[in-house]
Amino acid sequence: MTILFNYRLFEISRYKVHNFIRRTTNLNVYNSRNSTTAASRSIETVILRNEQDAKKVIYHFSPEERNLLLKVLQKDIINDDNKAISKNEAKKLFLFNAIPFVGFGILDNMIMIIAGEYIDQQIGTIFTISTMAAAALGNTISDVSGVGLAHYVEMIVGKFGINHPDLSADQLNSKKGRLISNIARAFGLVVGCTIGMFPLLFFNNK
């Protein structure tokens, strides 16, 4: 009788230890109980399509397990924010910063040359100002115009589908992110200012 009784206890304990529960709600949970009070869970497959699926997942965890999962997810998000900028993201960041400055450079030089030439030829003869003074006044007019035209330049660039890459604040403020942005702006400004010199082709220097 003693042997039979112990064998039955062994069978009951084994049943508790190997208690297997399979749920088919896009989630398979293996629930193995090491004792009557503690359980260890391991998720085999998880497919989350919406918030309802996510709720079904967290219902299987205790408050302590949820806090542990939250900490891991937060660390993972921080690691994603600190990850290096990829080549594709660097290309998008370069174009996003370069193209608007091409427009700024064109408008800046074009307005400065036209305004400076007009001041030098028309107003300069009346007030006897030098060519450099006329150029400085033309540059002032160009800078003031740029304040009002900046919005329209950005709006036109946006219509071409050039959007800001999906980067975190840490990635944008990283050494590589700042370097790409500054080089792109300088490159765009040089190209734009060179193109903006085209009014000189229509002036008679004689």
pLDDT reported for residue 159: 84
Of 81, 103, 120, the domain-final residue = 81
Residues 124 and 193 in one domain: yes
Residue with tokens 């997942």: 57
User: In terms of domains, do 156 and 186 share one?
Assistant: yes
**Closest among 14, 51, 50 to 34, alpha carbons compared:** 14
Number of domains within the chain = 2
pLDDT value at residue 78:
57
User: Is the same domain home to 69 and 104?
Assistant: no
Cα end-to-end distance, the chain, whole Å: 125
Domain that holds residue 63: 2-81
Single out the residue in 81, 99, 120 at which a domain terminates: 81
For 123-135, the three-class secondary structure string (H helix, E strand, C coil) is: HHHHHCCCHHHHH
The DSSP result for 32-75, as a single string, is EESSSS-EEEEEEEE---SHHHHHHHHTTS-HHHHHHHHHHHHH
Q: Do 69 and 118 reside in the same domain of the chain?
A: no
Query: According to the model, what pLDDT value does residue 77 have?
Result: 62
Q: Is the same domain home to 22 and 94?
A: no
| Residues 95 and 20 both lie in one domain | no
**Is residue 24 located within the same domain as residue 70?**
yes
Give the Å distances, CA to CA, from 19 to 6, 16, 149, 183.
20, 5, 71, 62
Give burial (CB, 10 Å; 0-12/13-18/19+) of 97. Answer: buried
- pLDDT tens digits, residue range 170-196? 888 889 999 999 999 999 999 999 999
